[in-house]
Structure 1
Amino acid sequence: MLVKSTIANHRITYPARFQLVAAMNPCRCGQALEPGYACRRGPNERCMAQYGARISGPLLDRIDLRIEVAAVTAADLILPPPAEGSRETALRVAAARGRQTARYDAEGLAAGTTNATCPASLIERVAAPDADGAALIRTAAESMRLTARGFHRTLRVARTLADLDGEPTVRRLHLAEALSYRGRAEKPAS
């Protein structure tokens, strides 16, 4: 990706490769999901929908992972640590990146090519799902009104999930998880 800037009648192009991490509240006040809370702007669902509509469909379509995170409670703070710690996660991620490097080296692509950066035609091939997964993505593409971009991004995430599991094939399980990261209600791109 290239970022173009025009300053004082000069045009400059900068190379850009970044990862966007963002957060937003569910509504203006941020309390719509609190048990027993009634928004004064109307029903909580309507307030949340109006607030969420401030982000355009085309922008949302470019965000691969959208996860709703509940507020942390005091009870959450005393839970035991997760079974997989940071060190184990880092090893699993490194192994998945190694699988991607080997896959795309074999395809003759530039070093550092990942599932996120490989051509769409190639991701369709290397992330071709099993029969159950193909049926799921076909149904989801219609019901969630996935755009071509949304479809390919879902395949990329599913291929990455399969790589993290050490699986050579994208299965229904991987596609279901990837689709769950598209958000509760997929908005059609406008």
Structure 2
Amino acid sequence: MVLLLLFIALILQEKIFNDLTSKAFAAAIVETNATSSTDGATATMEPIAASLRAAEKALATPEVARAALLQAASKINQHKGDGTRASHEALTKLNMEVLALISQKSGTAFDPVKLRTLVTTAEAMAANSGASAPSVEWLKARQELVKSYMEATAQSREFWKGMAQMILLNLLLPVLTGLLGYVFASRQANKP
């Protein structure tokens, strides 16, 4: 019973923690997207952002969302040659993230947080005079956010692992010792 309660608490805490932290980090990424600088690229990002928004609206039907993501990937590929090297790199990175979502198993739901991040990235690039590449500061800020998210998740899991070990050691080990003592003592009492 205690193990079941511990297991349920672990699952609930992990789910709630991941939801809260992923939403917080997505909001922070949106803020860093809004402050990203431009590099004067000439490619237009609005059709790409529109395709990603369509995929986000179609999350309930994975195949429609997949088709919208494929359309966004093809539009990204069309605009890769436009602009500067930095915008080309930003478009390549965006394309890789879109393709990573597309490569999920067919029929499975897409992660709404990842899709929202892609939409905000494309919208920020479109808002900054056409299609701009994220600045180096923006990329560093985003890497720091991802790193801190991973650390927070690891710390949460380490806490619950330690808690489970402590409960198992302090609760179940004495019970097991008592049961084994009873079994062996009753065997010796039954011997002639």
Structure-2-length-normalised TM-score: 0.29
Larger RCO, structure (CA 8 Å, separation 6 or more): 2
Structure index of larger Rg: 2
Structure-1-length-normalised TM-score: 0.29
